[in-house]
A and B are shown apart, each in its own frame.
Chain A
Amino acid sequence: AQRVTQPEKLLSVFKGAPVELKCNYSYSGSPELFWYVQYSRQRLQLLLRHISRESIKGFTADLNKGETSFHLKKPFAQEEDSAMYYCALTQGGSEKLVFGKGTKLTVNP
């Protein structure tokens, strides 16, 4: 069965420090991977997807098929990055998103 694992429920860093939010998945085919973010009192929104290979708000994520990982990274965290982050995948041919449980990131001043 498809599964997305985010091992850290909570992650706290100081402003300016590097941050890495971990995401591992189990899926036998070729999934498409996403990171969604939910800022306080806002709705869930797409942050980035692996096929775009782009950097959004300083965040990047590389799909590592060997390690089945899609970790989210940012070299210098900002206070406004504090939010809930969800890793998700879609399975080939299907539109449904499979989400991890989320990681709450807190960036301290």
Chain B
Amino acid sequence: NAGVMQNPRHLVRRRGQEARLRCSPMKGHSHVYWYRQLPEEGLKFMVYLQKENIIDESGMPKERFSAEFPKEGPSILRIQQVVRGDSAAYFCASSPSSRSNEQFFGPGTRLTVL
């Protein structure tokens, strides 16, 4: 089992462009979580998804951010019209069920907005 995969590992965008971050959960895991880590901060929850459903998006900014976890393929975190403040490390985690409570983390995507 290769673990949670995230790509790209590093992403550079100019202000106003779109950023797409991908997360492939561990095999057999149907729950995906996205977290953001700003410099000098801890990880902050953004969104929790199951296949084709958003369960909890209480940590998502109201505008420009969206997430999906389609029936086939990876989960996608999409940031439209990026601004410098979006520069951060974005981590994805997965778990096999909501009761396991252990979340397995990916290596993260470091987004830099110029």
Contact = CB atoms under 8 A, between A and B. Distances in A.
Interface stretch (A11-19, A72-80, A90-98): A90-98
A60 to B, nearest CB: 18
Contacts of A8: none
B103 A97 contact: yes
B42 A32 contact: no
B18 interface: no
Interface residues of A, number: 20
Interface range, B side = 20 to 34
A98 B104 CA distance: 15
Contact of A43 (B3, B41, B42, B44): B3
A86 B45 contact: no
Given A86-B42, A94-B56, A96-B59, A43 B108 contact: yes
Interface of B: 3-4, 31, 33, 35, 40-45, 48, 55-56, 58-59, 91, 95, 98, 101-108
Interface of A: 4, 6, 32, 36, 43-46, 49, 86, 90, 94-102
